[in-house]
Chain A
């Protein structure tokens, strides 16, 4: 029976407080278990130990974050631009669509992370290899989402513009793109995560810099608290990039939709 569910302040407070409380409880249980069961720090450090390590090594970690973040951003930017252009091309030309369809499907089938060693061998272990690899990983989500979004434009709107004598170009920019924005951004958000992932994987395999390297290196030396600290900073980086994309999404939606 729907007895009248409470909406309003009580509910909204709970919706916010419950997840936060869960996180706090987990942290407390973690701290208590490790301390009471006397688990070795190599295996599982306490949240306290991690926080202490983080505070101590923060400047160095932030430097490394800059390295990783720079490359991820570059790869992401490349992917987004290329993805948008590619999507525009595919959605407007049936011929292009048919020609590239097998290539796109094939790339979707290949687990692209497996290509990391190839990039590193062929492009060296410098930033270019990592940026290109990250761009490859992030290119496809944007390409596919945007292509679908452009394709699914409301036909009545397009018909209206055609009847008013608008050119294909005008229709593209004033109707298709605004309609495709949500799809584009949904792809872009996934891409931002993939870009960071790509850089990290490349750093795992061979690098002397960046948060991925720190994680692998500290892990090899069994400095688990340092590993956790680096992971924390990396997660913050990933969230920051995602947040930037989400923020741009909000702004552009407002701008385009008035």
Chain B
């Protein structure tokens, strides 16, 4: 029983034009991928050429081909260091996520707690926390634990801050709706606050992941025992440029993998709530 005759008209209006969706491999769609990729390869090629043509640069740089060669050759040597860095980064980050999200949620729900603690959170973001690395060595020694905990320490703050901010920024109209529906606070939290906070939450997670990696690397610099950061330091001091860059490449790989994991988690979270995630159309 349709009440309104114009409903059918509006249905027709909102349909997409079918033609626009059917061009699979046009240059327009490929360009954003092909062009940067091509330029990246061009940069690599240029780099190779420069080192080849100007041997003096070998004191500073190593050719991509050399880096690749040493990666293959010395891989067994590099694996324990790779694992050490990866373990410290991932574990530190994972723990920071748990602690940060829990604290951030608590801050968003309890106003007095927020007032008491949030200014300190902001303060800790501004201050150069990296300086505390030696403290963690005093407390936890030069082993993996101290690097892991330092990574946790560095990455926990942006995660907590982003979680608290994101959860607290729920649109008041949405909260009013929940109040009108007599929803208990915890239902409001999970059904409305969390979905709205997902973009901010994952921005914080990406930031936290970066900080975890930084913490691990600086920890490795200062403890000087193992890890890819240690290899970089060691290789640079020994003027072994190829090894230095090889270790750097592996570090990038670690960063990319963890970042990729966070992105995947974000996609999963969006699908759970119903992707694609759109926050327009609220009103």
Contact = CB atoms under 8 A, between A and B. Distances in A.
Nearest to A15: B115
B116 A113 contact: no
A193 B131 CA distance: 12
Contacts of B229: 114
Interface of B: 35-37, 39-40, 43, 59-60, 112, 115-120, 123, 125-128, 130-135, 137-139, 179, 210, 213-214, 217-218, 221-222, 228-229, 232-233, 236-237, 239, 244, 247-248, 251-252, 255-256
Contacts of A43: 138-139
Contacts of A115: 248
Contacts of B119: 19
A150 interface: no
Contact-residue bracket for chain A: 35 or more
Interface string A17-28: 011011100000
A101 B132 contact: no
A1 B228 CA distance: 55
Interface stretch (A54-62, A76-84, A154-162, A232-240): A232-240
Given A111-B255, A242-B126, A19 B120 contact: yes
B128 to A, nearest CB: 5
Given A122-B60, A212-B131, A216-B222, A101 B36 contact: yes
A22 B232 contact: no
A149 to B, nearest CB: 17
A234 B130 CA distance: 10
Given A102-B43, A197-B128, A113 B218 contact: yes
A218 B138 CA distance: 10
Contact of B117 (A22, A215, A238): A22
Nearest to B133: A204
Interface in A3-48: 14-15, 18-19, 21-23, 42-43
Interface of A: 1-2, 14-15, 18-19, 21-23, 42-43, 98-99, 101-103, 105-106, 109-111, 113-118, 120-122, 193, 196-197, 200-201, 204-205, 211-212, 215-216, 218-220, 222, 224, 227-228, 230-231, 234-235, 238-239, 242
Contact of A21 (B37, B43, B116, B128): B116
B221 A204 contact: yes
B128 A120 contact: no
Contacts of B126: 193, 238-239, 242
Contacts of B139: 43
22 contacts: A18-B115, A18-B116, A22-B116, A42-B138, A98-B36, A101-B39, A102-B43, A105-B36, A113-B217, A114-B251, A115-B248, A117-B232, A118-B232, A120-B236, A122-B60, A201-B130, A224-B138, A231-B132, A235-B127, A238-B127, A238-B128, A239-B126
A62 B151 CA distance: 29
Given A101-B36, A238-B127, 10 more contacts: A19-B116, A19-B117, A22-B120, A42-B138, A103-B43, A111-B217, A118-B236, A118-B244, A205-B233, A227-B135
B134 A227 contact: yes
A188 to B, nearest CB: 13
A117 B39 contact: no
A109 B253 CA distance: 9
Contacts of A101: 36, 39
B131 A211 contact: yes
Contacts of B128: 193, 196-197, 200, 234-235, 238
A114 B131 contact: no
Contacts of A18: 112, 115-116
B115 A227 contact: no
Contacts of B43: 102-103, 106
A20 to B, nearest CB: 9
Contacts of A113: 214, 217-218
Contacts of A2: 179
A3 B143 CA distance: 55
A35 to B, nearest CB: 19
Contacts of B252: 109-111
A124 to B, nearest CB: 13
A98 B37 CA distance: 11
The 6 A-B pairs with the shortest beta carbon distances in the complex, nearest first, are A219-B134, A117-B236, A102-B40, A19-B119, A18-B116, A117-B233
A200 B213 CA distance: 17
Give the most central of A117, A120, A216: most B CB within 10 Å: A117
